[in-house]
C-alpha cells in the first residue's frame, strides 16, 4: 500500500505486529492479556500496600512504588492498543495516536532508566552509610530525586520527539511492529535515515552507559562493604535487597541494549519485535514478583493489614 503522508490527524498507520503469524494471534492475545493483568495486579498491590502500611514508608519502598506506577503507565501506553489489534481485523492507529504513544514510550523508558540509578544510590547509602541513612535519604531528597527522574525522562522524550517530527515520512504507511518506537518510525522515512539511526544509537548509548556506570559504581562500593561485614543476618538482608534490584536492572537494560545499541538489519526485525515484547509485557509483570517474593517486609505488611481487617 503506497500513500502520500501529510502528517495530519487524518493520516493513519497500519501496525503489522504479528500478522506474519495469523494462526498465533489468538495465542499472543491470551498470553499478553495474562501478563498485562499480572502487571496491573502486582504493581497496584505494591503501590497500595506501600501506602497503607506505615512500616513501608521508607525511601526504598517509596522508589519501588514509583517504579510500579511507572510500569503501569509504560505498559498501558502500548499494550491495550496491541490487544485491540490482535483481537480484531482493524490494526490501524492515527498519526496523533502514534506521536502520543511514541512520546510516552520514550519518556517512561528513560524515566525508568534514571529511576533505577536512583534506587541503586539508595541501596548504596543504606549499606555503606547506615548510620547516616535517615539524614542522607530524608523525604525531601527522595521526592526531589523521584521528580528529577520523571522530569529528565519527559524532557529527553520531548527533544527526541521533536527531532523525529522533522523526519519526512512518505510511501507505505505500514509499520512492521506492534507499537510505535523510533526504529519502526524511521523505516517510513523518504530519505536515508542512517544519520538519524546513528544519532539515536549514540544518544541512547550515552544514557544507558552512564546509567550502568553509576549503578555498577554503587554496587562496587556495596560489594566492598559486604566483604567487611561480620553479621550473617546483615549479609542476607543485603543480598535479598540488592539481588532483587540487580535482577530488575538486568531485565530492563539487557533487552534495551539488544534493541537500541545494535545497527538495524533486515534479519533483526522479527527479533526486535520479541525483544520489545519482552521489555514491554514480561518485565513489568515480573518486577512485582521479584520485589515481593521472599520479602519479609512485604509479608509482614500483608499480615498486619489482614490482622487489622
Q: How far is CA 302 from CA 55, 206, 267, 297, in A?
A: 11, 41, 48, 9
What's the mean pLDDT in 49-59?
A: 90
Distance between CA 137 and CA 246 in Å, rounded? 20
Identify the helix (H) or strand (E) that includes residue 99.
Answer: helix 95-128
pLDDT exceeds 90 at position 65: yes
Q: Which helix (H) or strand (E) holds 20?
A: none
Q: What's the predicted TM-score (pTM) here?
A: 0.85
Angle 281-31-29 from CA coordinates, rounded to 5°: 95
DSSP state of 24: G
8 Å CB contact between 270 and 276: no
Mean pLDDT of the chain: 82
Identify which of 129-138, 172-181, 189-198, 255-264 has the greatest average pLDDT: 129-138
- DSSP annotation of 132: G
Contact 285, 39 (CB under 8 A): yes
End-to-end Cα spacing for the chain: 60
For residues 20-47, average pLDDT: 89
Among candidate residues 171, 165, 163, the one with its CA nearest the CA of residue 191: 171
Q: Residue 51: CB partners within 8 Å, gap ≥ 6? A: 65
Of the ranges 36-50, 87-101, 250-264, 283-297, the best mean pLDDT one: 36-50
Q: What is the pLDDT of residue 193?
A: 65
Q: How confident is the model at residue 2 (pLDDT cuts 50, 70, 90)?
A: very low
**Most confident residue range from 1-10, 25-34, 188-197, 255-264:** 25-34
> Is the pLDDT confidence value at 86 over 70?
yes
* Tens-place pLDDT, residues 164-198: 777 777 656 777 777 777 766 777 777 766 766 77
- Within a 10 A sphere around the Cβ of 26, how many other Cβ atoms? 11
State how far Cα 116 lies from the chain centre.
10
Give the total residue count for the chain.
Answer: 309
- The position carrying cell 547509602 is 125
Residue 151 has pLDDT above 90, yes or no: yes
Amino acid at each position: 500500500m503506497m500513500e502520500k503522508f501529510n502528517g495530519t490527524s487524518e493520516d493513519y498507520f497500519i501496525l503489522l505486529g504479528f500478522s506474519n503469524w495469523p494462526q498465533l494471534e489468538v495465542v499472543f492475545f491470551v498470553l499478553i492479556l495474562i501478563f498485562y493483568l499480572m502487571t496491573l495486579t502486582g504493581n497496584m498491590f505494591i503501590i497500595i500496600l506501600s501506602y497503607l502500611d506505615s512500616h513501608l514508608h521508607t525511601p526504598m519502598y517509596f522508589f519501588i512504588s514509583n517504579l510500579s506506577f511507572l510500569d503501569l503507565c509504560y505498559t498501558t501506553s502500548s499494550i491495550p492498543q496491541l490487544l485491540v489489534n490482535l483481537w480484531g481485523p482493524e490494526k490501524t492507529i492515527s498519526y496523533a495516536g502514534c506521536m502520543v504513544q511514541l512520546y510516552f514510550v520514550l519518556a517512561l523508558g528513560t524515566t525508568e532508566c534514571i529511576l533505577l540509578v536512583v534506587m541503586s544510590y539508595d541501596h548504596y547509602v543504606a549499606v555503606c552509610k547506615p548510620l547516616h541513612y535517615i539524614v542522607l535519604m530524608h523525604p525531601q531528597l527522595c521526592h526531589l530525586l523521584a521528580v528529577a527522574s520523571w522530569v529528565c525522562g519527559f524532557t529527553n522524550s520531548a527533544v527526541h520527539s521533536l527531532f523525529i517530527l522533522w523526519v519526512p515520512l512518505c510511501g507505505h504507511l505500514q509499520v512492521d511492529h506492534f507499537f510505535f518506537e523510533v526504529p519502526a518510525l524511521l523505516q517510513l522515512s523518504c530519505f536515508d535515515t542512517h544519520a538519524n539511526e546513528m544519532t539515536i544509537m549514540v544518544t541512547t548509548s550515552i544514557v544507558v552507559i552512564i546509567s550502568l556506570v553509576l549503578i555498577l559504581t554503587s554496587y562496587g562500593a556495596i560489594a566492598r562493604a559486604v566483604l567487611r561485614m561480620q553479621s550473617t543476618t546483615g549479609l542476607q538482608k543485603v543480598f535479598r535487597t540488592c539481588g532483587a534490584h540487580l535482577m530488575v536492572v538486568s531485565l530492563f537494560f539487557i533487552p534495551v541494549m539488544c534493541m537500541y545499541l545494535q545497527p538495524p538489519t533486515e534479519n533483526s526485525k522479527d527479533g526486535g519485535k520479541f525483544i520489545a515484547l519482552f521489555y514491554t509485557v514480561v518485565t513489568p509483570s515480573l518486577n512485582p514478583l521479584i520485589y515481593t517474593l521472599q520479602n519479609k517486609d512485604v509479608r509482614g505488611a500483608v499480615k498486619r493489614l489482614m490482622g487489622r481487617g
